[in-house]
Chain A
Amino acid sequence: DVKVTQSSRYLVKRTGEKVFLECVQDMDHENMFWYRQDPGLGLRLIYFSYDVKMKEKGDIPEGYSVSREKKERFSLILESASTNQTSMYLCAHSGDRMGQPQHFGDGTRLSIL
């Protein structure tokens, strides 16, 4: 079975805190993604990475950064959390072969107070 582990299911932080969301995959896949999911807006891509230390901005990168020091781990960082970053965060990964689907983690529901 494909396994994607996100470090927390639920997380509550305060405005201004630095927040780390971790994602680990066991498929040795090159591509990893961070999405934000909000009602009525679907999934919006924050950042993706196609290799170790490589990253590309998605549609809504402002206020976020990422780190990929090892192939299996992709971290999302909220540099200074704000209330408008309260959301569900989904990590996903996919292989490089054309047409391969994405595999998702359980998601982290993040609340910023």
Chain B
Amino acid sequence: RKEVEQDPGPFNVPEGATVAFNCTYSNSASQSFFWYRQDCRKEPKLLMSVYSSGNEDGRFTAQLNRASQYISLLIRDSKLSDSATYLCVVNILIQGAQKLVFGQGTRLTINP
């Protein structure tokens, strides 16, 4: 089983729609969680951290369920500029050393 698994996608949704991505992780020792965004031929950039209580940043909401080892990202009122690949990232602490593990990514296209 992969350490981090995401919805395979691709997602094609109309502008203004709400879209949700899911991600599961296998290591219960995982300490911190992130969503990154990667545009075509660019480097990944942090979109938002994911906190246990859930957190919101404008149109974006991230949720964490430690019991189910599950992370989600919700995008409301999607914009054309939201088109990108979204990467679920889990920071695993093993024997005192951290390891950032990325999911394969989910490609999102917002259509006008």
Are A and B genuine complex partners?
no
